[in-house]
Structure 1
Amino acid sequence: MRARNKPWADDFLKENDHIVIHQPFEYKENWNEVFHNDHPIHLEIGTGKGQFISGMAKQYPDTNFVGIEIAKSIIISAVQKVKDSEQDNVRLVNENAKDLREMFGQHEIEKIYLNFSDPWPKTKHEKRRLTFKTFLEQYCHILKQDGEIVLKTDNKGLFEYSLVSFSQFGLVLEEVVLDLHAMEDPTNVKTEYEEKFSNKGMPIYRCRARFVK
């Protein structure tokens, strides 16, 4: 269901410019200046309402997190979660992920998280999937030489497609989990969708893939 338009969203984002980066393309190759340190940078594409990224920031205070969310009506919830968490190692961007190479420099990112991305199940929409080869080309460019992609989804079709796409692109599959919550990983930070689907008894799939350069 599409989130309702919130006419006050623009003002809210501007008021929280200590969290929201309004001109992200200006920081290409200089994202450490945003955080005022040299800690590794992790990127979440499709941040949603921010439960995952705010939880990760709290669990890993020596890592910087950047979250990209295209929907303005949704990212405001993420901003509020980060604000409430009082974590200073998170920045959010209200942009489309298709321009990653214009936003981040080569090898600037250490890890990418793809959490419950839109599966785009129709074949004609394959190019929109965040694990399609054109997106993988972007990830390969911005990730460090041993950079990792972590994918979580409830959608079996997207998971199977992504495993094939990763392999064909030359990534090494370091982990393939068909029921994440059955393994009781204490480091796992749940997203809002993850809680919703797991509470219904649906399996959560996770894989970790690494570029070998």
Structure 2
Amino acid sequence: MRQRHKPWADDYLKEKKHIVLENPGVHKGEWKKVFGNENPIHVEIGSGKGQFITGMAKQYPDINFVGIEVAKSIIVSTVQKVDEEALDNIRLLNEDASDMLALFAENEVEQVYLNFSDPWPKNRHEKRRLTYKSFLEQYRNILVDSGQIVLKTDNRGLFEYSLVSFSEYGMHLMEVNLDLHAIGDETNVKTEYEEKFSSQGHVIYRCRAKF
């Protein structure tokens, strides 16, 4: 989906650099110092406009959340939400998530969320999928031993691909849910896309996997 250009985004992000961090690689291995506590670190790749990460931060105040979003025109919406609600347990990165090892140290993260990621359906784009083996290797490195990947999507092709990718990598599937909203999980925090696609009658899939 094409995003409207926001010419004020650069200045706004600089103004809110206590929320969206510049040069985040300098915090590698020291994310708990960034938050000023010893709480677990959870990472959302592709945080969009921030409905999920802000909802999670409010629901789980004893967890620190790092949201990664490459599009400035989108991340500003998340920054606004975080700022308005004074959520101290969120930091945002306006970065490409292709090199997670430059951002996080080994065993530094307890959970990774992949919400409605681009499915990249063409075979020639397989390596861009966030559940491709090269990404799984990065997650394995930054996650603690008991850490999990949580994937939500409405795209059955990506879901099936991811299940196979997880299994071929030797991961353990903790949950495979073929209709998330049918089970009435009251702890589920919906993303903007999740609400949109669900309202259109799309089934929402979720799985949890660990190494």
Scaled to the shorter chain, the TM-score interval is: over 0.9
Which residue number corresponds to residue 192 of structure 1? 192
What is the CA–CA distance in structure 2 between the aligned matches of 1:159 and 1:84, rounded to whole Å? 34
What do the CA deviations read for 1:10-53 (whole angstroms, capped 9, x no partner)?
11101111211111000000001110001000000000000000
Structure 2 counterparts to residues 191-210 of structure 1, below 5 A = 191-210=191-210
Percent of matched pairs sharing the same residue: 67
What is the CA–CA distance in structure 2 between the aligned matches of 1:64 and 1:171, rounded to whole Å? 25
Stretch of structure 1 that moved more, 183-192 or 73-82: 73-82
Which residue number corresponds to residue 84 of structure 2? 84
Which residue number corresponds to residue 50 of structure 1? 50
Asked whether 1:4 is paired with 2:4, we answer yes
Asked whether 1:60 is paired with 2:49, we answer no
Which residue number corresponds to residue 38 of structure 1? 38
Structure 1 residue runs of 4+, over 2 Å off?
Answer: none
Partner letter of residue 25 of structure 1? G
What do the CA deviations read for 1:127-181 (whole angstroms, capped 9, x no partner)?
0000000000000000001110000000000000000000000110010000000
- Structure 1 residues not aligned, in runs of 5+: none
- Structure 2 residues not aligned, in runs of 5+: none
Partner letter of residue 135 of structure 1? F
What do the CA deviations read for 1:94-151 (whole angstroms, capped 9, x no partner)?
0010111011000000000000000000000000000000000000000001110000
SS of the residue aligned with 2:201?
coil
Partner letter of residue 107 of structure 2? H
Which residue number corresponds to residue 172 of structure 1? 172
Cα-Cα RMSD: 0.6
The Cα of 1:7 is off from its aligned counterpart by: 1.2
SS of the residue aligned with 2:99?
helix
Which residue number corresponds to residue 159 of structure 2? 159
What is the CA–CA distance in structure 2 between the aligned matches of 1:73 and 1:159, rounded to whole Å? 28
Asked whether 1:106 is paired with 2:117, we answer no
What is the CA–CA distance in structure 2 between the aligned matches of 1:197 and 1:207, rounded to whole Å? 18
What is the CA–CA distance in structure 2 between the aligned matches of 1:152 and 1:40, rounded to whole Å? 21
Superposition TM-score, scaled by structure 2 size: 0.99
Which residue number corresponds to residue 138 of structure 2? 138
What is the CA–CA distance in structure 1 between the aligned matches of 2:60 and 2:23, rounded to whole Å? 26
Structure 2 counterparts to residues 114-133 of structure 1, below 5 A = 114-133=114-133
The Cα of 1:83 is off from its aligned counterpart by: 1.4
What is the CA–CA distance in structure 2 between the aligned matches of 1:173 and 1:180, rounded to whole Å? 16
Which residue number corresponds to residue 29 of structure 1? 29
